[in-house]
Amino acid sequence: MAHARTTLLDRIATREARIGIIGVGYVGLPLAVVFAEAGFRVTGFDLSADRAATINRGVSYIEDIPSSTLANLVNRGLIEATTDMRRLQEMDAISVCVPTPLSKTRDPDMSAVLQAADDITRALHPGQLIVLESTTYPGTTREIFQPRFQERGFTVGHEVFLTFSPERVDPGRTDWTTKNTPKVMGGITPECLQVGRALYESAIQRVVPVSSPEAAEMAKLLENTFRAVNIGLVNEVQLMCDRLGLNAWEVIEAAATKPFGFMKFTPGPGLGGHCIPIDPLYLSWKLKTLDYTARFIELASEINTSMPRYWVQKVADALNDQSKSIRGSRVLVLGVAYKKDVSDVRESPALDIIHLLREKGAVVSYHDPHVSSIRIDDERVYGEPDLLAALAHSDCVIVATDHSSYDWQQNRAHAPTTIDTRNALKA
């Protein structure tokens, strides 16, 4: 049905196409804003009624999106949000931006993607474009979405169009945003890719086409596996330098002066965020089904997940040097977000550090200017309101997140002992 494709392309070109985005979190809301700023009417779909109501009030819960920007688009009728998945049938194009975490057994948890696929399939009609953005293993788009559409009697590439275009959001960045970060895209058919490119090129500066959804899925996993493996390498360098009596940061800075053949990565308390600790394990899981062991991924994961325990031992050693036991000592964790200057605590190694310290009997508190409370061991824990008082009453401070707003020299002056996982003190 060339008519379905031509009609959809015309609606995209004239900005008449209605855009639906399933999942309006760190990925979906910025994407909604970019499409709305390009002149499209966008509807965000989310399971959270509170989140939908917040959007409809023009209030942003994403640090990268100012409420003033969102409110302007809401007031102009370009962005709305709903929990009613039946309204997907009103959409000309639907982008899926739902989370893909790991299960307790560290296997892919595809429940949100499967639910989105089912919701879309129930609302599917000729002339719709579906774009999966959630990071996942190679084959997901073709294996999960296409069969459902075909069971409804639609031929992908003729009546409906299906592509994969992985999100590349890095919360807190202002240089590379949803609008100017190149967007990789692969379609089930050339016609699918044509329609997908037409939509995304209307709002995003550059779309990078690849031959298939699988190529696009693999490209995203390669990006984050590259980071995970290299972070694993420098974390092991930290462990080796510790044994050798060397300063790992000094060694890395010296190596980074080489103008070619070296890319600087830095050690820390472990991996955090919604991508790097998780995405490589999606690839590893997929390859296990093909009787292949992704050795680099498994080793890097082993090293990175061991780092919180390493730093907790450093706290114990520092307290021991003061003739104090970790049990009963007051330990202050500075920063619980997974990286500096954001409020996102997903997969944050600081949470593992707090859990391990509490296991050993430490009295643990935290301070983070971006995070008012966290959940640890099924308990809601609130941050210390007075940083200087918390520093003064602690037996040891561990720097887990190097937020820019911290005065590190002042913190050092008020803290009795500091364990610095980020080299924030430049010791």
Q: Are 161 and 167 in contact (CB under 8 A)?
A: no
Q: Are 336 and 301 in contact (CB under 8 A)?
A: no
Check residue 250 and give its pLDDT.
Answer: 97
Strand duo 93-96 + 129-132: pairing:
parallel
Residue 426 dihedral angles phi and psi, to the nearest 5°: 50, 50
The pTM score is 0.92
- Report how far Cα 278 is from the mean position of its chain's Cα atoms: 9
The answer for residues whose C-beta is within 8 angstroms of residue 413's C-beta and 6 or more apart is none
In what helix (H) or strand (E) does residue 123 lie, and over which residues does it extend?
helix 111-123
Check residue 427 and give its pLDDT.
Answer: 56
Q: Are 108 and 282 in contact (CB under 8 A)?
A: yes
Q: 366: which 2 tokens? A: 């935290």
Check residue 172 and give its pLDDT.
Answer: 84
Domains and CATH numbers, the chain: 2-211 (3.40.50.720), 236-420 (3.40.50.720)
Q: 58: which 2 tokens? A: 């023009």
pLDDT single digits (tens) 225-267: 999 999 999 999 999 999 999 999 999 999 999 999 999 999 9
The set of catalytic residues is 275
Check residue 154 and give its pLDDT.
Answer: 96
Check residue 426 and give its pLDDT.
Answer: 83
Question: Could you say which residues of the chain have pLDDT below 70?
Answer: 1, 427
